[in-house]
Amino acid sequence: MTVSKGRQVQIPVTSRSLAARTVRLLAVAALLASTAISLSPARTLAADPLSDAIAQQQRLAQLVAAQKSQLAQLAQQQTSLAGQLASTQTQLADVAVSVDQLKAEISDLDGRLAAASASYAALVGQQVSLQRQQAELAAQASARQVELGGRQRILAGRLASEYESDQTPLLQQLLTAQSLTEALSDSSYYSAIAAADKALADQIRGDEAVVDKLWQSVTIAAAATVEAATQGAARKSQLDEQRAELARASAELADLQSSLQVQLAQQQAAEAELARNQAQLSAAIASNGQALDLLANRIDQLIRQGVAGGGIPSQFSGSLHWPMGGVVTQEFGCTGVVSEPRVGSCAHFHQGIDIAAPCLTPVYAAGAGEVVFAGYNPYDAPPQAWLVIVAHSTSMVTWYAHMTARNPAGIYVGAHVAAGQLVGTENTTGHSTGCHLHWAVRVSGVFENPRLFL
């Protein structure tokens, strides 16, 4: 471009007038004035918004992971609880373990249920945090969306203004300027606006990434909230059922304990009455001593005959199990029960364990073996006791005495029984002071403490 004194200004066709930039500057200024959003890059927050959004998403991922872990832990706790509840209910129904063991199991179940309830409470707390996080993220995303829309409108206005000015004829652009000096001075503003355009475009791209991250987080939080609510409701329902099951088990145990206490009191009263009647006492002592020895000798002979036929193994491997549950009313060994015979240095010695439970409680084989006796003890003074004797090996047998005078299916001399198979029901046949099972273990011709083989 050249300027000659006294001549009109000549502007080459290849250049563009800077005067029209004034028009665009005025339009942009008006547009800027109409919005509360600043165009200056200096407005950017001290913290990078995208980094903040990513950090929020990471924190959300940790919260969701913690929630899933809590759900998994609760599911595992409830599965274990359900299995133990089912086992306890079975044991209560069959009275297959001692009352003390059932009390311990129910106490343990109570603790497990409390732990599961605490896990559920923690899960509910996590759900609340997740819902709050979702609401906060949605609010942030909406606010960012509004800001993004405002910036996009500003940039669109600028581009439209630039397009219109670029299409204005060169002469018209020159004539709109007040002077050449003014037109030339506009170039600095034009450069500034161009830089602002670029900064605004960059900021829009950054905001789009931030908004995208925020909405991703909202979606993740929403899905996790739905999953937590669904699974949480299922876990809550199962917890309620397990609480009810535990309450039923506790009530059944209380009824069982009450029944056994009554039964134990009756046995103690009968024993006291027996002690006052010397004739009956002498008969009971003879029956508990001599009759026991005579039958034991016969059983030893039967086992030797069984060995000849190859029906009884030479050794027993493994351990025995309680044949039934209930209250142990008399342990093995020296006792104060006067109806028991003298053995060694003990004036009264009990050669088994007495277990009391409600009458007709099932009695099970303590281990696998062969039935070598099933019926009334032929050596008893009337009334005779009904008993079943199982040989587990040539050297080990178990006795189940005072049972109901009727064998269940599959129980007969020579029958093979599996561990836990029904061999009879508890009763009070023979010289008995009440419904109970006399359980004895005889090894190599000597009665031993059954607890040694459990």
**Domain assignment present for 7:** no
Same domain, residue pair 348 and 429: yes
Assign 77 to helix, strand or coil. helix
**Domain assignment present for 447:** yes
Q: Which two tokens stand for residue 325?
A: 């549950």
Q: What is the pLDDT of residue 423?
A: 97
Hey, how many other C-beta atoms are within 10 angstroms of the C-beta on 369? 24
Same domain, residue pair 215 and 173: yes
11 pLDDT band (50/70/90 cuts)? very low
Residue type, 206: G
**Domain assignment present for 135:** yes
Q: Average pLDDT, stretch 103-114? A: 88
Same domain, residue pair 226 and 342: no
**Domain assignment present for 1:** no
Percent of the chain with pLDDT over 70: 75
Report the distance separating Cα 42 and Cα 24, nearest Å.
23
**Domain assignment present for 14:** no
**Domain assignment present for 270:** no
**Domain assignment present for 4:** no
Q: Average pLDDT, stretch 411-428? A: 95
Statement: residue 30 has pLDDT above 60: no
Q: What is the pLDDT of residue 422?
A: 96
Same domain, residue pair 56 and 144: yes
pLDDT digits (tens, 9 = 90+) for 318-366: 899 999 988 888 889 998 777 677 787 888 889 999 998 888 999 999 9
Q: Which two tokens stand for residue 70?
A: 């809590």
- Counting the structural domains of the chain, the total is 2
Q: What is the pLDDT of residue 382?
A: 83
Q: Is the peptide bond before 383 cis (omega within 30 degrees of 0)?
A: yes
Same domain, residue pair 359 and 446: yes
| pTM, rounded to two decimals | 0.54
pLDDT digits (tens, 9 = 90+) for 44-83: 333 577 788 888 888 888 888 888 888 888 888 888 888 8
Q: Which domain holds residue 157?
A: 20-261
Report the distance separating Cα 214 and Cα 50, nearest Å.
9
Cα 217–chain centre separation: 29
40 pLDDT band (50/70/90 cuts)? very low
Same domain, residue pair 189 and 90: yes
Least confident of 128-137, 159-168, 231-240, 380-389: 159-168
Q: Please report, for the domain that includes residue 437, its CATH number.
A: 2.70.70.10
